[in-house]
Structure 1
Amino acid sequence: MTDSTGVPLSTEWGMIRDGAGREFRVLKIGKLHLAEATLKLFAPEGDFHARMERVRNMSVNDDDVVLLTFPKSGTHWIWEVLNMLISGKAEYVPWTPDRDFLEIEGEKIEQIPSPKIIITHYSINDLPKDVFKKRVKIVHVSRNPKSVAVSMYHHMKAERLLGDIFPETFSEFLPLFLDEENYMMSYWFSYIQDVETFCRENPENPVFNIKYEEIKKNQHIEIKRLAQFLEIETSDSLVDEIISKCEISKLKTVRGDEKDGGRPAMYRKGIVSDWKNWFTVADNEAFDKVYEEKMSSSKFTFEY
């Protein structure tokens, strides 16, 4: 497999370490570090490398929409909003987000009728080539990284995405988010920089960058802006209904029941500043140091 520039991606097993020195075996594919438990979820057939290659070459339709997010950045919430905007009705669709997830369903998503929402945590550079060829609309949702780190800690712990062993505290988990050599899944800093670089270098491709915190603060305004980007006519009353239906408490009830195929770990608090309850002073200083180093040239700003 090659990256978006045609350079072959190396694939190897390696070890990463949390703040207490615990070791976790991961498969390194390009900018991804995937634990075995994660691989079983994302590539049940056993070959994530081949899955990514097939995804890069799959077909999409002009009226599809890509929902691009780093994990724990409001993915499931905005998926619900998009479905309601596209259908013109404040009603839950009768399927779960997993059906639309590239990492889970791979190229099978080709078979879903359009217009459809394609959810992914892949880097923008690893999307299907057809997305760029057909200039499919991309909705990129980002969230302040301190909240992302806390939400990821709880999610990975609940879903056992590192297997049976897990960091005992958030402080021990944090290096798996901050350390460029020891990160888990994707490296947030590279992920966001890749989006920013892509948008700067490819202005002809329609990308709507929206912040989790901005939507939380001004839901009506931001959802109307989203509808405008998607070229969808909507009304104030419909937007208000969508906001009500997509409250985290309601989504927990509708989507969080395991017996109905739900994923309880996907819906925790859905708030902006819970990270303050988990970061120690030392954690915050370590985080800010890495952020200043990695994002010094970025124009992205976040509300904490």
Structure 2
Amino acid sequence: MTKGLQLELRNSFRKTFSTACERKRRMEKPRKKFTGFIDDAVAAANKMDRDELLFSYKGILYPVTLCSPEVFRAMESLEARSDDIILAAYPKSGTNWLAQILNDLVAIFEKKTQNKESSGNDEELEEFPYLEIGDTGKYERMNKLPSRRIMITHLLPENLPRSVFKNKAKILLLIRNPKDLVTSFYHFTNGIATLPSYETWDDFFVAFMTKKMPWGCYFEYLSKWNKYAADENVMPMTYEELKENPVLGVKSIAAFFGISLTEEELQTVVERSSFQSMKKNSEKTHGAYANVFFRKGAISDWKNLFSEDQNEKMDKAFEEHIRGTKLGTMLKYDVYCKA
């Protein structure tokens, strides 16, 4: 073998190896950012007393180590676009699950239509996915990012940047039956230091029903988002319907956001977003708190905790706040929340 050929082969190997390393680095980068942010927030929370963990902004409680009034004020500078993909969901509605689906849909679509290896550039991958969590300079950076941008939020509609509705950004609104949601929230709260823990389920239930939850009251969340549920740029979906028919759900989501994929590609998204698959990879995606983020992913787990009195109180609250509305009807409360 000539020296020239050896040099050519060596350079070719280096280029291939470099490309492979870059691809791996870009895929791992967003998850390192996610887990690093959570680790830092937990470390800060561990040094705080329980009554210091939450602050109030416009009458709603938020975690001190994740959110701040300064960031909320800076958020108004975000310029939403009509091709933005926004996932709106109250905590423990299945946010991580839907985020996986949306990221896979966009990544596969962009790879085959624009020959991209990921859903954006390195700068985009550096941004924490939750709209209300980050630093005050986040939104200026986001305004410079190319489309499509994927954003996640737990906020009420009136607390989102005005440009979201003005520019008709598309919103996937994910909701979940309140009894399973509060059950999941209870286990999550006691599993991560950024939120106040509770000695008993009964104590947590009282706090949930008396509007002392981070990101506000779930029934008020449903009621206020219901005003937008019929808008053409909003697609409501329940955790339960997606759980029962994930193939149809993923197809509907793709169609709503104008993402055209083959049946095989859609099936890949469904398989990658199954609870078993996500839990298996959770240590890579969510670090030390994998088991907190992915506990059961089940329907009707509430039956293991609710007392008869708590059932009656939740039923009454649902009746008063949301029954008869579009979102209330979609939740199929009598199917999923009756003993």
Q: Give the % identical residues.
A: 27
Corresponding position of 2:266: 239
Q: Which residue of 2 aligns with 1:3?
A: none
Pick closer, same or farther for the CA change 1:210–1:259 going to 2, 3 Å: closer
2:286 is the counterpart of 1:294:
no
Comparing both structures, which one devotes a greater share of its residues to strand? Answer: 1
Q: Cα offset for 1:99?
A: 2.1
- TM-align CA RMSD: 2.8
1:124–1:195 contact (8 Å) kept in structure 2: yes
Q: CA–CA distance in 2 between the matches of 1:59 and 1:79?
A: 21
Q: Is the 8 A contact 2:279 2:290 kept in 1?
A: no
CA deviations over 1:274-296 (Å, ceiling 9, x no partner): 11111122221221122212224
Q: Secondary structure at the match of 1:256?
A: helix
2:233 is aligned to: 206
* Structure 2 match to 1:102: 131
Displacement of 1:28: 2.3
Q: Which residue of 2 aligns with 1:218?
A: 245
1:256 deviates by: 3.1
Equivalent position of 2:66 in the other structure: 41
- 8 A Cα contact 1:24 1:162, kept in partner: no
Instruction: Tell me the matched-pair count.
Output: 268
Which of 255, 276, 281 is the matching residue for 1:228? 255
Tell me, in whole angstroms, the C-alpha distance in 2 between the residues paired with 1:296 and 1:258. Answer: 37
Aligned to 2:23: none
Q: SS of the residue aligned with 2:79?
A: coil
Structure 1 residue 62: deviation in Å? 3.1
- Deviation of the 1:147 alpha carbon: 0.8
The residue that corresponds to 2:204 in the other structure is 173
- Following the alignment from structure 2 to structure 1, what is the Cα–Cα distance between the partners of residues 285 and 108? 28
| Equivalent residue for 1:82, pick from 64, 84, 102 | 102
Q: 1:151 aligns with which of 165, 178, 184?
A: 184
Query: Within 2, Cα distance between the matches of 1:194 and 1:253?
Result: 36
Question: Which of the residues 267, 272, 284 maps onto 2:299?
Answer: 272
The amino acid across from 1:125 in the alignment is E
CA distance in 2: counterparts of 1:50 and 1:61, whole angstroms? 23
1:114 maps to which residue?
147
Paired position in structure 1 for 2:224: 194
Q: Greater helix percent: which structure?
A: 2
* One-letter identity of the residue aligned with 1:197: K
In 2, the alpha carbon distance for the partners of 1:258 and 1:243 equals 17
Question: Is residue 141 from structure 1 mapped to residue 141 from structure 2 by the alignment?
Answer: no
Q: Which amino acid aligns with 1:102?
A: L
- 1:30 correspondence with 2:51: no
Tell me how far apart the structure 1 counterparts of residues 227 and 194 of structure 2 sit (CA, whole Å).
Answer: 30
SS at match of 2:228: helix
CA contact (8 A) 1:96 1:262 kept: no
Is the CA contact (8 Å cut-off) linking 1:137 and 1:206 kept in structure 2?
yes
User: Is the CA contact 1:256–1:263 (under 8 Å) kept in the aligned structure 2?
Assistant: yes
Q: 1-side partners of 2:181 and 2:126: how far apart?
A: 19
Aligned partners of 1:140 and 1:253: how far apart in 2?
Answer: 26
Aligned-residue offset at 1:235:
2.1
Alignment partners' CA distance in 2, 1:98 and 1:155: 24
How far apart in 2 are the matches of 1:56 and 1:64? 16
Query: Residue type matched to 2:225 in 1?
Result: V
Distance 1:85 1:78 in 2: 10
Alpha-carbon distance, 1:61 to partner:
3.2
Q: 1:33 to 1:285 in 2, by over 3 A?
A: same
Contact 1:84-1:92 at 8 Å conserved across structures: no
Q: CA deviation at 1:255?
A: 3.0
C-alpha displacement of 1:113? 3.5
Task: Return the alpha-carbon distance in structure 1 between the equivalents of residues 160 and 175 of structure 2.
Answer: 17
Task: Quote the residue 2:279 is aligned against.
Answer: 252
1:146 corresponds to which letter in structure 2? K
TM-score where L is the length of structure 2 = 0.71
Unaligned runs of 5+ in 1: 1-22, 43-47
Query: What's the offset of the Cα at 1:232?
Result: 1.3
Greater Cα shift, 80-89 or 241-250: 80-89
Q: Distance in 1 between matches of 2:172 and 2:286?
A: 31
Whether the 8 Å contact between 2:175 and 2:237 is mirrored in structure 1 is yes
